[in-house]
Structures are given as structure tokens and as C-alpha cells.
Structure 1
């Protein structure tokens, strides 16, 4: 059956290419954000929503999609997801306003949610034993490497062509993925999965996550408790003196509490639920999912901050920013081969812990070297270490989480695991973005307050402009000799705020490492004994 074997591995390539596309789209936008801000006139909060709209929908629908795909066909769901993703990418590439771009990103999130959990359950159904471990490692390394390659690809496309090509490139890749998947990947489904969809649970998860992320992103704009300025939401004036931020945050927490109660009730009654709580009786799954969420919070949030620092403080172009982040991708890809060797020697759990520790070292080191005048070579080694950690942790944590999940529940299990990652990623962008921009406001205000030549009204205007532009206004300040000293203060404040975001990311990863310490230990793979020497075969044989 060698042809079937080759077909499976080519099918793995097709699935991994599709996964690479949706993961790249999480990070490819990072280096394009300054160009998007300039072209469409979006604010720093709007730039975060360009990221969050995609990630929120992605995270909120993964559980529903995993369950439906088990019943209707995993390959079918994957292919439909690619079609939706390609169509949404065309809309994003042609967006004429920030609102249109955010709407297109919502549709991209829908397509991505249909692709990611089904990709993992397809691998789980297609491969077994050691081959499954290899397939999971390739899948996980694809995620880590794609997240790192996104800024390079986005930087090149933005600099040489337009930020719109950061979305347009998905179209030819998506067509290739669809054709290869239909030819090379067999259909799989579980006819025993129960009928029905938990739409109430899906709605509560969307409301809960959106409320919390809205509060984290918009707090600095609308006020954390009292309304900072007159507020208009969806064309309507906000009537209360209290800001919508605490209302959204508390409402989001309440929705998540209702979601948990709703899931417990439906599980007890044996009705289809968004979350199969019985999966959490599996120790490796429960701990692995928790660790995946926390680790993702620290991993991807910083990739929002670093490109802004490179471009708006150090003056790099989008392409040079991508080149500067290339060691992260190199480290992630190299660690996939290294991880396979380490798993044989130490076991997957140890490799996950080693990867998270490497991430902490790399990010904490970046926090130490970030400055307004950092030399180009200073972050390279730290980014490489960070990339090695991402590759090791991401590639192996998936397999550790799902190794004891029954095959017939692989869609649900992979959906929960992927949801944990995406929820962590969404919160990471929101939390670290808040740390970055709130820190920038406070630090720049303090620096300008020491200057006697700047009035308070002018100071507030400068701080607001720099913050809302995501730092893009610094270049304009530097170009005018009269405001060049203010630009230097803004660069210093932005660098300090980036440093705080890096240390916050390292802190979250440290919590993730503590969670990973609770992962059940697995035994290293036995090393095959050296084969006995055999006599040379005769020509006749």
C-alpha cells in the first residue's frame, strides 16, 4: 500500500498548508498595521479590532464546528471553510474603510474556525501510532512557523506592493488547498455523534468573549469607569455617565458564567452541548488545554507590539521588520526536527516544558534589550530562542493534550484544544495591547509634563495623537525640527511601553510553565537496538 501511504503524507501537506494560511493571517497583519492605519485612517483601537474580530469569531465557533464536523464530514467542513476564508480574503483586500475591513475579518474568522479543528481531527482519523505523533508534530510546527513567517511575508507584500496583498495572497493558496484536499484527503465522520447543536452555548461564548475583549481594548478610549468623552456606539449616543467599558466587561463575565451553568445542565441531561465536560476527566487533556490557553496568551500577544516598535521607534520598513523577526521563524522550524529527537530521549511532556522555558527566556531577554536606539543585531538571538520555544511547545502540546482522547471524540477534543489556544491569543492581544498603549499614554504624559515649553492642552493632544496612531505619528513629529525633541520623548515612551508588554508576556508564560509542570509524564520512546550485521545479499536475491 505504498501509494496510499504517500497519499496520506501529501494529504498532510495539503492540510498543513491550509492551517498555515489561517495562522499566517493572525500575524501577517501585524507589520501591515501602520500602513492600514495610514490608508484607512483607523485608530489604534481600530487596529486592535482588525486583529480581534478575526480571533474572537475564530475562538467562539471552534467548539460548534468541531462537533458539527464529526457528524457531517470533516473533509467537507474543511473545504467549505477554505472557500469562506478565500471569499473573505477578497473582501478584506478590497476594503475601503476600517469597518469594511473588520467585517471581512469576521468572515475570515468564520472560515478559519471551520478549518482548524477539522484539520486536527482529520489527522487524528488518518494516522495512527507513531505516524500520528509525526503528523501532530508537523501540524504543530506549521502553526509555530507560520505565526513567525507571517510578519516577513506581510512586510514584503506591504513594502513592495500594498497591505491589501497580505489578504489577496490567500486566494491562490486557498484554491490549491481545496484541490489537494479533495484529491488526497479521505472523508471521515462519526455517525454515532448525537444530533443537535448548542446554539445558546455558542451565543453565550461569543457574547462573553466579545464583552471582555471590548472592555480591555476600549478602556483607554472610553474610560475605565466613567465616560471620558461623549460616546457614540452603533450610531447611538451613550446615555449614562458610567462608561460602557465596565458594562461590557461585567456583562461578558456574566455571559461566561451563564455559559458554564448552561454546559453543566446540558451535559447532565445528555443533550448536545458546546463543551463535552466529560473530556475534562482525562487528566492529560484537562491540563494540556489549560496550559495551551495560558501559553498562547503570552506567545502571540507580543507579536502585536514588536512590529509597531520596530517601525515607529526604530524606523524600519514593513519588509525590514519582517526580516528582523525572521530568526523567530527559523528557530520555530528548526525546533520541529529537534523536537522529534528530544521526544525520543525525554518524552513529549519534558519537551513542552523545555519549549515554554525557552519562550520565557527569549521574551524576558527582549524586554531587557528593547530601547529607542536598540542595535539591529541585539534582538536576533533572543528571537531565535523564542522561536525554538514556540516550535517545541506548540508542536508537542497538541499531541500531549489529545493522546488519550478517543478517536470518535477527536473533533470535540481538537475543538476545545484549539479554542483554548485562540481564546488565549485573543486575550493576549487585548491584554498586551492594553499594557502597550496604556503604558505609552502614562509614560509619554509623564515625560512631557517635565517640559515647561508644552502646555497641558497641547500635551494631551500629543499623547492622544501618538497613542491613537499606534505610534505612527512619531515620524511626523521627528520630521519637523520644532517637534523633533517631542518625537524623541515619544520614542523613549513607546520603547518603555513595549518593554512592559514583553515582561507581561513573560509573566503569563511563567504561569503557563507552572501549568505544564502538572502535565502527566510520558515515557520516552524506546531506542531501537542496533541491527545485527547481515551478510551482503547476492545478486540473485
Structure 2
């Protein structure tokens, strides 16, 4: 048993490493993409937004497909889609092609991430599953630690397309290794096919909200395109609810919403990434746009963030055996709030890394990324069992992506297509909003129910 669950773990980690590394590399590549295509800040924001929309919309359907056809097949399909999108991004002659390829990669990630944790936890000892979750997160943290240095250096020398070349180089052998080593943990040939129409409606709704947030300041909030996007998003909400209530395999199973701990996990899965993801991406943009850092310089500057996240994630797994996940989450969010407040009050337009940026980078890595994000899965896992692994984790992943997407759209929307002289002031506005969102994140964490003493620390 011991050998089997570690063998499955490492067979999944190549894809997890790849997907996590890509998330760290993309913010470093945005400056080169803007320069190459002659695009503005709001246009290149869609490189991140298209990925998040696709992932959020299809991750639950991917989980149902994993339950229907087997997690190994779903995992390999997702990895193949991700690598295919990377090949297209490498070649992309126009920005819209790159955005489309990022959507393909988002769909691939929708299969990879929940299937990977489902494959691992199905063979992991139930009494030690929080350790499995934090170890899974820690490997992603290693990818995040290497990405700024390796990827940043490659982007600095060969341009932004090097980020996609690197994904292909890692993705192809990862696919071959996983195909050879993984065995399926579950197969439900009789289960219903997921509601892809509902997933498409969610994608459309998220796209309209994102369009409004990203372009509202640039086009004007009264612009007919913004009003139409808002109106369409409002119309789609009841349609999505009808699909959830009426479809036999909806994008969100209403039964999951009846699980108390899972409901709270959904709240924090939206609230916490809503400021964590824009916090990280905006630090990268600040370094490159305000302090004129090259990608490799920004990579070195960001190194303490993922490095601290790796250590903190491992410690979170150890702490979870003695401390309640709520306590860890509140501490993590409080540290990240302090980091965002620092960003609002301390840095100025003249570069001074050690005195002005090192502290918030380190605190964010330790707090939100290293200790906070793993606890989302651990809290949601209290009420799940083997039958709801992929579906439950898929819903949580959707919630995380919705929070991250809204936060990123808000941040890029606040920046707008601004002149260089106004950049520093716009970043101050972004930091101010993130302070408010981070305080709300702490408040949500304080409301999380404590773990019952009779329950395992992370039951899935």
C-alpha cells in the first residue's frame, strides 16, 4: 500500500508541475506579448482570463467525465489538451490565436488537476489525506519556485514564446510516463454524461462579467458594449440555475451544497483567490512596468514567494494534525493581508527591492499561497467520500477560478490602458482594493466551522 500510493503520487506530479509552472510563467510573459502584438494592458489580460474562464467552466464536467470513463483517461486527455494548447501558443501569429490556445490549455487543466488529486487520494490512507493534499500543493510550489528562474531566463533571452516551448518539453515526457505508470482507480460506464450546455453557459456568463470588469474603465461604464455584456450576464444567471436544477448531471450537484463544511469551503474558495491571484500577478506587473525589471530580474525578485510557499505548505500539513484548518487559514490570510497593506503603504516608483518588496513577497508566499490555498481543499474534503472525489474537487476548483478570474479582471480593469506617468497611481488603486478584499477574506475564514474532533483531518 505504501509503495502504491507514492507511486501514483509521483506519476501524477509531472502534469501538476507543468500546470503550476505555467501559471507562474504567464505573468512574466505578458510584457513581451504586449510588445510583440502591439496590444494594451486590457487586451493582454485575456491571455490569463481565457484560461481561467475555460478552467472554471469545464472543470466540473471534466470531473464527471473522469467518474464516467476513468480518472486515468481524463488525466491523459487533459494533459494532451494542455500540451496541444502550448504548441498553438508557441506558433500563434495573432493575439486572438494565443487567447484561443490559452482557452484550450484551461480546458486541459480542468481535466488534469481534479483527476490528479482524485487518483492520489483514492489510494491514500484516509487518516493522512491532508498530508497528501499539502504534498500535492508542495510539488506545485517547487514548480512555482523554478519557473521564475528557468522560465524568466528563457523569456529574457528568447522571448515570451519560450514559455510555451518549455511546456511542450515537459509535457510530452510527462504524458508518456503517466500513460505507462498510472492505473485507473474507478470506472463508471453507467454514469450520465455531464451537462456541457450548462458549462458553456457558465463560460459565456464569466466571459461577459470579465469583459465588463476589464474594459469598463477603458471603454467607459456607459458604453453600449459594457451595458450589453452586463445585461447578458444577468440573463444567463437564471438559465444556469435552471440547468443545475433540471439536468441529471449538472455542473454543480445540488447535493454538495447541502454539505455544511463543503459550503464554507466554496465561500473561501471564492474569497481567498479573489485577492491572492491578482496580488501575485500585479506584483509582477509592478516590477516590470513601474520598476522596469526584465523577466529574469522579476523572476529572481519573485523567487522568495514560491520558495516560501513550498516550505509553508509542508508545515501546514504537519500543523493540520494538531491545529484546526480554520486556525491555519485565519493565520495565513492575516499574513497576506499584512503583505497587501505593506504594498499599499511602502513601495514607491524608485526601485528598492530589499526594503520595499521583499517583505510582501515573502509574506504572501508563506501565508496565502503556502498555507491558505491547501486548506480550501482540506476543509471541503471533510464531507466528501470516494464517490465524490472528482466532482467535489472540481466544484472547489471552479470556485477558486471564479474568485481568481474576478480579482484579475478587477485589477486589470483598474489599471486600464494607462499612460506610463499614471501607472504608479493606478497601482495604488489596485493595492487599495486588494486590501479591502483581503480583509473580507480574513472575515470569511473566521466564520469557518471548526473541525469535529471525531473526524479525520481531511476526509475525502
Matched, 1:497 2:426: yes
1:380 has 2:358 as partner: yes
Deviation, 1:192, is 7.8
Change (3 A) 1:162 1:38: same
1:421 has 2:419 as partner: no
Is the Cα–Cα contact under 8 Å of residues 115 and 390 in structure 2 kept in the other structure?
A: yes
Worse-superposed segment, 215-224 or 424-433 = 215-224
1:49 maps to: 46
Asked whether the equivalents of residues 75 and 122 of structure 1 are also in contact (C-alpha less than 8 Å), the reply is: yes
Q: Contact 2:291 / 2:350 at 8 angstroms: preserved in 1?
A: yes
CA distance in 2, matches of 1:436, 1:350: 35
- Aligned pair 1:410/2:389, yes or no? yes
Separation (CA, whole Å) in 2 of partners of 1:132 and 1:177: 24
From the superposition, tell whether residues 111 and 384 of structure 1 become closer, same or farther in structure 2 (CA, over 3 Å).
Answer: same
Q: Is the 8 A contact 1:370 1:499 kept in 2?
A: no
1:251 maps to: 232
- Please give the alpha-carbon distance, in whole angstroms, between the structure 2 residues aligned to 1:104 and 1:375: 37
Asked if the contact 1:73–1:187 (Cα under 8 Å) also holds between the matched residues in 2, the reply is yes
Any residues of structure 2 matched to 1:23-62 within 5 Å, and which?
23-62=20-59
- 1:391 CA displacement: 0.6
Q: Decide which of 297, 301, 307 is 1:330's aligned counterpart.
A: 307
Q: Secondary structure at the match of 1:274?
A: coil
Secondary structure of 1:197's counterpart equals coil
Q: When the two structures are superposed, what TM-score results if normalisation uses the length of structure 2?
A: 0.93
Show the counterpart of 1:348. 325
Aligned to 1:483: none
Shift of 1:148: 6.0
Assess if the C-alpha contact under 8 Å between 1:30 and 1:151 holds in 2: no
Q: CA deviation at 1:422?
A: 0.9
CA apart distance, 1:190: 4.7
Which residue matches 1:303? 280
SS of the aligned residue for 2:122 comes to: helix
Is 2:69 aligned against 1:78?
A: no
Q: How has the CA–CA distance of structure 1 residues 525 and 147 changed in structure 2, closer, same or farther, with 3 Å as cutoff? A: farther
- Using a 3 Å threshold, how does the CA distance of structure 1 residues 501 and 17 change in structure 2: closer, same or farther? farther
Q: Give the gaps of 5 or more residues in structure 1.
A: 227-242, 442-465, 467-473, 475-489, 527-541
Q: Decide which structure has the larger Cα Rg and report it.
A: 1
Task: State the 1:317 CA deviation.
Answer: 1.0
1:357–1:304 CA distance, 2 compared to 1 (3 A): same
Instruction: Measure how far apart 1:525 and its partner are.
Output: 10
Flag the 1:524–1:17 CA change in 2: closer, same or farther, 3 A: farther
Q: 1:99 to 1:155 in 2, by over 3 A?
A: same
In structure 2, relative to structure 1, the CA distance for the partners of 1:84 and 1:162 (3 Å cut) is: same
**Residue by residue, what CA displacement relative to the aligned partner does 1:148-171 show, whole Å, maximum 9, x if unpaired?**
654444322211222111111111
**Distance in 2 separating the partners of 1:524 and 1:348:** 12
For 2:46 and 2:436, the matched residues in 1 are separated by 24
Cα displacement (A) at 1:335: 0.3
Comparing 18-27 with 190-199, greater Cα deviation is found at: 190-199
**Hey, what does 2:126 align to over in structure 1?**
129
CA distance in 1, matches of 2:190, 2:181: 25
Whether 2:21 is the aligned partner of 1:20: answer no
SS of 2:310's equivalent in the other structure is helix
Whether the aligned pair in 1 keeps the contact of 2:42 and 2:416 (CA below 8 Å) is: no
Higher helix share: 2
Deviation at 1:89, TM superposition (A): 0.3
CA distance in 1, matches of 2:453, 2:318: 10
**Bigger RCO (CA 8 Å, 6+ sep):** 2
The structural deviation recorded for 1:50 is 1.1
Q: Which residue of 1 aligns with 2:379?
A: 400
Please report how far the alpha carbon of residue 176 of structure 1 lies from its aligned counterpart in structure 2 after TM superposition. 2.6
Structure 2, unmatched stretches of 5+, are 456-460
Which of 393, 399, 415 is the matching residue for 1:436?
A: 415
Deviation of 1:14 after TM superposition, in Å, equals 3.1
Q: What secondary structure sits across from 2:272 in the alignment?
A: helix
Matches of 1:131 and 1:12 in 2, distance apart?
A: 14
| Residue aligning to 1:511 | 440
Quickly say closer, same or farther: Cα 1:16–1:362, change in 2 above 3 A. Answer: farther
**Contact 1:346/1:523 (8 A) holds in 2:** no
CA distance in 2 between counterparts of 1:274 and 1:200 reads 9
1:104 paired with 2:83, answer no
Aligned to 1:277: 254
Aligned residue for 1:370?
Answer: 347
Cα distance in 1, alignment partners of residues 265 and 166 from structure 2: 34
CA deviations over 1:414-442 (Å, ceiling 9, x no partner):
1100101111111111011112237xx4x
1:522 aligns with 2:447: no
Pick closer, same or farther for the CA change 1:141–1:260 going to 2, 3 Å: farther
